Amino acid sequence: MRNIMIIIEYDGTNYGGWQKQKNTLSIQQVIEEAIYKITKKEVNLISSGRTDAGVHAIGQVANFITTSKIPIEKIPDAINSKLPNDISIIGSKEVAMDFHARYSARRKRYKYIILNSKYKRPINRNYSYHVKYDLDIDKMKNEIKYLIGEHDFKAFMSSGSSVQTTVRTIYDVSIEKQGDLIILEIEGNGFLYNMVRIIVGTLIDIGRGKISTSLKDIINSKDRNRAGYTSPACGLFLKKVYY
Amino acid sequence: MRNIMIIIEYDGTNYGGWQKQKNTLSIQQVIEEAIYKITKKEVNLISSGRTDAGVHAIGQVANFITTSKIPIEKIPDAINSKLPNDISIIGSKEVAMDFHARYSARRKRYKYIILNSKYKRPINRNYSYHVKYDLDIDKMKNEIKYLIGEHDFKAFMSSGSSVQTTVRTIYDVSIEKQGDLIILEIEGNGFLYNMVRIIVGTLIDIGRGKISTSLKDIINSKDRNRAGYTSPACGLFLKKVYY
């Protein structure tokens, strides 16, 4: 028995998210079927965490147990030969049997891309969220510092998820302007349901002057109604998982 | 009568190219139909030049004559309201009646994006050309200087086009590595049929050691068989047209 870790990039546009489910195609299902085709054995692919419908990944991590003898360095090409163009295995590693892509994860890093332009731009339209309003980037940059550290992020969680605690630690967050793009990156020990997308929606509302409350006060309120809207999935990328 | 110049961005993936033709959808046709919907008059949209099937643009320029009284600054939003997501008008200007998007053009700038990575990458897969071989970027950078100036670029023209002369002037060319991407930009007074894509294919063959002849000698040979292959359309962008 071998425990194989794979790193995955995917375009989430045409999927119902990572997790296997009825009535919609999931990334998990497509990769499990590709692995079946090359190993002839059913596998249970464990990821670092589900991503929602439409969310992308450039560094999702997953693992599966197999008796296959395919050399580890051949794993990506072998699986990729059975995958559609919007999913790709971009790395592989043989890991200890107790490695678990979800439970062993220590940190995750997400990226969110806002296209801040007067008119919509066709190129990369599936990989960014178009905001046509003027955004005060300095104001947004000034606010994000309140996210750093251990906080109760209850105000930034969509309902419909059950978690033991809404306390999470953010280690790093940045906002950078590159031409028409505004790129947010955020790293933490874990994220609540829709947390990154609600943080982004709140920052956009702050940047365009629709919300005048500081992020600090919104965090302290623990009230979802004080935060902004949930920005769309198409701008969000799971960038890296740390073990 | 007014002469309206528009700047256009498009994702060429799902089109048979710029020019109107039977049996395939063209970008020209889609925009002309959108203009018809807002002005109720048929127009003849003249572009700076056709782009081939699958080629993108981030700064295509076109003009049309109209009696419409729509204020010039409202033109992009008006046309965009009738366009699909993969085409967008990103600028507009009222120009003199003798302005002609093709004949008045003085220079054009193209961009070509190579994704140079071991494995295919789903994100941006429609906006780059994947090359998995190791490429010697320094060698490629060293060769491009021979493109600068006035040359007979006959070796870099696909058959099937009739032109009076194959002499063109290149004003600027650069190759830059940004992570996994290799970005070539080239500016000239005009380009032969498939010229940029053959230059890129030749540079890739030079970069991976398949062609050992210098670009200088290939240009001088005026022989298409000495140059490399025609790289695919998906990596090519018409970036800017100068008037």
Rounded to the nearest integer, the mean pLDDT of chain B is 96
Per-residue pLDDT band at A118 (split at 50, 70, 90):
very high
Which residues of chain B neighbour A232 with C-beta distances below 8 Å? none
Report pLDDT for A129: 98
> Residues B196-243: pLDDT tens digits?
999 999 999 999 999 999 999 999 999 999 999 999 999 999 999 999
**How many beta carbons lie within 10 A of that of residue B235, not counting itself?**
26
Annotated binding site of A for substrate: 110
- Nearest chain B residue to A84, by CA: B122
- Whether the CB of B180 is below 8 Å from some CB of chain A: the reply is no
Residue A36 is part of which domain span? 2-95
ipTM for the complex?
Answer: 0.89
Per-residue pLDDT band at B65 (split at 50, 70, 90):
very high
Is A43 in the same domain as A112?
no
In angstroms, rounded to a whole number, what is the distance separating the alpha carbons of residues B184 and B190?
Answer: 17
DSSP string for B105-152: --EEEEEEEEEE-SS--STTGGGSEEE-S---HHHHHHHGGGGSEEEE
Is B59 in the same domain as B119?
no
Q: How many residues does chain A have?
A: 243
- Whether the CB of A183 is below 8 Å from some CB of chain B: the reply is no
Q: Does residue B11 lie within any of the structural domains?
A: yes
- Whether the CB of A179 is below 8 Å from some CB of chain B: the reply is no
Is A119 in the same domain as A91?
no
Q: Does residue B101 lie within any of the structural domains?
A: no
Is B127 in contact with A124 (Cβ distance < 8 A)?
yes
The SS3 of residue B224 is helix
User: Between B87, B120, B123, which is nearest A80 by CB?
Assistant: B120
State the CATH number of the domain containing residue B143.
3.30.70.660
- Whether the CB of A127 is below 8 Å from some CB of chain B: the reply is yes
Q: Does residue A188 lie within any of the structural domains?
A: yes
User: Between B88, B120, B124, which is nearest A121 by CB?
Assistant: B88
Which residues of chain A neighbour B124 with C-beta distances below 8 Å? 124, 127
Give the count of Cβ contacts less than 8 A between chain A and B: 69
Mean pLDDT, rounded, for A18-26: 94
Per-residue pLDDT band at B29 (split at 50, 70, 90):
very high
* B110 annotated as belonging to a binding site for a ligand: yes
Asked if the model's pLDDT at residue B160 lies above 90, the reply is: no
Is B87 in the same domain as B151?
no
Is A89 in contact with B119 (Cβ distance < 8 A)?
yes
Is A121 in the same domain as A22?
no
H-type alpha helices, chain B: 27-39, 75-80, 137-143, 195-207, 215-221
Is B113 in the same domain as B160?
yes
**Total domain count, chain B:** 2
- Whether the CB of B103 is below 8 Å from some CB of chain A: the reply is no
H or E element, residue A7: strand A2-10
Site of tokens 């572009």: B47
Is A29 in the same domain as A118?
no
H-type alpha helices, chain A: 27-39, 75-80, 137-143, 195-207, 215-221
State the CATH number of the domain containing residue B84.
3.30.70.580
The SS3 of residue B72 is helix
Torsion over CA: A11, A17, A19, A25 (sign): negative
Give the phi and the psi of residue B235 in degrees, each rounded to 5: -90, -5
In angstroms, rounded to a whole number, what is the distance separating the alpha carbons of residues B85 and B52?
Answer: 19
Q: Does residue B146 lie within any of the structural domains?
A: yes
Is A88 in the same domain as A162?
no
Tell me the CA end-to-end span of chain A in Å, nearest whole number. Answer: 22
Site of tokens 């292959």: B229
